[in-house]
Chain A
Amino acid sequence: MARQARQWRVGAAGIAGVAVIGLALSACGGAKVGDSSSEAGGSGSSGKCGTFNIAVNPWVGYEANAAVIAYVAEHDLGCKVTKKDLKEEIAWQGFGTGEVDAVVENWGHDDLKKKYITDQKTAVDAGPTGNEGLIGWYVPPWLAKAHPDILDWNNLNKYAAKFKTSESGGKGQLLDGDPSFVTNDEALVKNLKLDYKVVYAGSETALIQAFRKAEKDKEWVIGYFYEPQWFMSEVPLKKVKLPDYKAGCDADAEKVACDYPVYKLDKIVSAKFAKSGSPAYDLVKNFTWTNDDQNIVAKYIAVDKMTPEAAAKKWVEANRDKVEAWIK
């Protein structure tokens, strides 16, 4: 018993000692948390904008749009911006559940438009972003330079053997990619009677890695790609010309034998957001810029490894005039 009591005394002394050290530390402690909060709390006065939920789809071009819009909304309009990292499908679902206000770069998605704009009426179109989306078959620049005729689909069969890989079962390999994009490539290969097999790389990462390596090691790769895309500023891929797109030539997915249309990329907002009268809605609606603009910001993010906020800040400061037009 006595021994235990002694231990407790030791324990108590220890606690007291610690408390003293703690007090000593706090006496010479440095800045307190509350003191500096006023400047850390954000510069803009919280105006009538309120919260603005912007979906961020997982590709860098989108990130660029979102970063610039978010930066302007926060600093010029005083909104509280919440970015939500979501795939497209889920972002659109968010219109219905009220958790997403805006999608700021949409590639076609007629099925989603039908479902959420026409049927459920939870989303509305907010106009084009000014960017034009191209989808098609691309080859690395060295190949286009070495064999310029490869850029015409008529000559593709000539080179089919060169594109053979372990995956393509004796034919040339046409590398398809990101599962997010609808492709007609299997039908195209069949209908254009090309001696190729579509191989699914499965992700944008896999595609980019394939092209990057092809350019560096002078390998033969042909694959599905799209622009605007930050990777184009690293390796400017060359597009292969397919039979021209005419309206309706892709109506029957089985019989497609023409190029992909040029997508006018647009913005979609939730119906509730559109009616809210928030200045952020006007910003989204007015937002428009060029492929070059997007590529610059995308390059800041992807190649120069700036944070999206820093990239947006840099661009906005350099292009004040464009921004002013959006928020007037």
Chain B
Amino acid sequence: MTTQTEVPQRRGTPQDSGSTPVISVRRLWKVFGPKADQVPDSEELCGLTRRELMDRTGCTAAVRDVHFDVSPGEVFVVMGLSGSGKSTLVRCLTRLIEPTAGEVVFEGEDIRQADDKRLRDLRRRKFSMVFQHFGLLPHRRVVDNVAFGLEIRGMGKAARTRRAQEVVELVGLAGYENSYPDQLSGGMQQRVGLARALAGDPDVLFFDEPFSALDPLIRRDMQNEVIRLHHEVGKTMVFITHDLSEALKLGDRILIMRDGKMVQCGTGDELVGAPADDYVREFVKDVPRGDVLTLRWIMRPPADGDALDGPELGPDVVVKEATRAVLAADKPVKVVENGKLLGIVGDEEILAVVAGQEGGA
């Protein structure tokens, strides 16, 4: 693989209007501590900072009033530093942690209303999760680990082994099916975790910081693997990370959390181009902007003296990719969408981004 694949390919963002969201989260709260359920209802307590809430009630609000939608086939990334509540959030979505208040609607069904049996059924058929520390069973071979979810569903041995074998090959572990987890490297162990999640053919995959424990090189391989799998199987994914570059690389949309609250939710170029506040701005400061921003973010309305016969590019072309074309042209490039002129991009705009002059502001 070359570095080319690392550059985010703007996948046609599939959240076209009309498709109903797979997951729809409304006013979600998770409060730990005594009398936790009173906090979301109390106007006054809701307004406190996390620290104040701790001092007043002894409660910790890990997730505070979060809402978002995830569209089918989307890769939705939740990003935040440690303690921001992102891991709690993803566990609330499958009720591995019981939310305190709010709604989690999955394919039109409020998961919080599901009884144990229904919830188990959902977990067995619709969701699956990949964990930071893998959570593999050391006493089982790779193929048995992969087949574990199917075994729990009650699938027969022959059938589940066959299916597990397919998935093992899909994640590139062919030849290792009879090894035990502790004989594999961290990256390979996480491939097993990934295969286990895929084996049940779920509708949604949840990833809880799956690559944080891995070496940088292996992490990159695994990220590419996820991108590849997303192309091949097209699952909806909810991906938790603390690494902005990972978020930008994988995510169609990114939700930034801080102290349990949503700070901003948008596409990568939205975060970089229009940070909601200083926190996000600080976060995205060091991002190579040319890799993320699209022409839409740097174009300017054509002024009177501009020549309007330059080459045309789409508004969603990433700056980095447009650089050569813009600099090679002796006239400003026109940004055109559906035949309509949105703006123009000249050498200065490009250079400002590439040279980082616009950054930090």
Let me know if chains A and B touch directly in the complex, using CB atoms closer than 8 Å. no
